[in-house]
C-alpha cells in the first residue's frame, strides 16, 4: 500500500472504513458504507436521501449529499445546500461529543439559511433555524453527546410513517 491512500485520479483519499458518524476506523474493521461523492441528484432526491441518512443517525453522510447538491446545483441554490451541510456537520460534531464545534456549526448553518424566501425545494427553513439554535444551546450545556438519530431534524414535509 502507498504511504497515502489515493483515489483513481491520484488525489489523496483516506480509504479507512468509517463509522456512522464518519469517524475513521482501523483498516479491516467493519464500517458503514461511504456515501458516493459527486452524485448529481434533483433537489427532491437530495432532500429525500439526506432525510433518510439523518433519520438513520448518519448526519456526516447527509452532509456529503448536501455538498454534492451545493457543488453541482445552480449558484442561486448554494446558500441553502451549504447551510444544510453545515447543520448536518454541526449535528455530527454534537453527536461525537464536540459541543463547541457542534454548536458553532449549527449556528453558522442556521445563519446561512435564515431569511431564504419561501420553502425552497420544500425545506422548512424557519423550522430548521429554530431546531439548530435550540440544539446548539442544549449541546453547550454539560451533558452527554446527543443521539444523532433522535435529534435528526425534519427537512420538510410530513414525518416518516
The chain-wide mean pLDDT, for the chain, equals: 88
Between CA 23 and CA 82 the distance in angstroms is 21
Query: SS3 of 143, please?
Result: coil
Span 62-113, pLDDT tens digits? 999 999 999 998 889 999 999 999 999 999 999 999 999 999 999 999 999 9
Write out the three cell numbers for 38.
Answer: 459527486
pLDDT (0 to 100) of residue 1: 43
Q: Could you tell me the pTM of the whole model?
A: 0.85
- Do residues 33 and 43 lie in contact, with contact meaning Cβ atoms separated by under 8 Å? no
pLDDT (0 to 100) of residue 81: 97
Any idea what DSSP says for residue 13? -
Q: Does residue 151 have a pLDDT over 80?
A: yes
Q: What is the mean pLDDT of residues 36-58?
A: 92
Rounded percentage of the chain residues whose pLDDT exceeds 70: 88
pLDDT (0 to 100) of residue 35: 72
Torsions phi, psi of 140, nearest 5?
-75, -20
Between CA 120 and CA 77 the distance in angstroms is 8
- Do residues 122 and 156 lie in contact, with contact meaning Cβ atoms separated by under 8 Å? yes
Between CA 94 and CA 136 the distance in angstroms is 8
Q: How confident is the model at residue 36 (pLDDT cuts 50, 70, 90)?
A: confident
Amino acid at each position: 500500500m502507498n504511504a497515502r491512500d489515493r483515489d483513481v485520479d491520484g488525489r489523496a483519499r483516506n480509504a479507512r472504513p468509517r463509522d456512522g458518524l464518519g469517524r475513521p476506523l482501523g483498516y479491516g474493521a467493519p464500517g458503514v458504507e461511504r456515501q458516493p461523492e459527486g452524485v448529481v441528484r434533483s433537489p427532491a432526491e437530495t432532500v429525500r436521501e439526506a432525510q433518510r441518512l439523518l433519520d438513520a443517525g448518519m448526519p456526516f453522510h447527509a452532509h456529503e449529499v448536501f455538498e454534492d447538491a451545493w457543488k453541482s446545483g445552480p449558484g442561486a441554490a448554494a446558500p441553502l445546500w451549504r447551510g444544510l451541510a453545515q447543520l448536518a456537520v454541526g449535528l455530527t460534531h454534537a453527536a461525537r461529543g464536540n459541543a463547541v464545534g457542534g454548536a458553532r456549526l449549527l449556528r453558522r448553518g442556521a445563519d446561512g439559511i435564515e431569511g431564504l424566501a419561501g420553502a425552497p425545494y420544500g425545506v422548512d427553513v424557519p423550522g430548521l433555524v429554530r431546531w439548530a439554535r435550540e440544539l446548539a444551546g442544549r449541546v453547550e450545556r454539560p451533558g452527554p453527546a446527543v443521539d444523532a438519530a433522535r435529534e435528526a431534524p425534519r427537512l420538510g414535509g410530513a414525518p416518516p410513517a
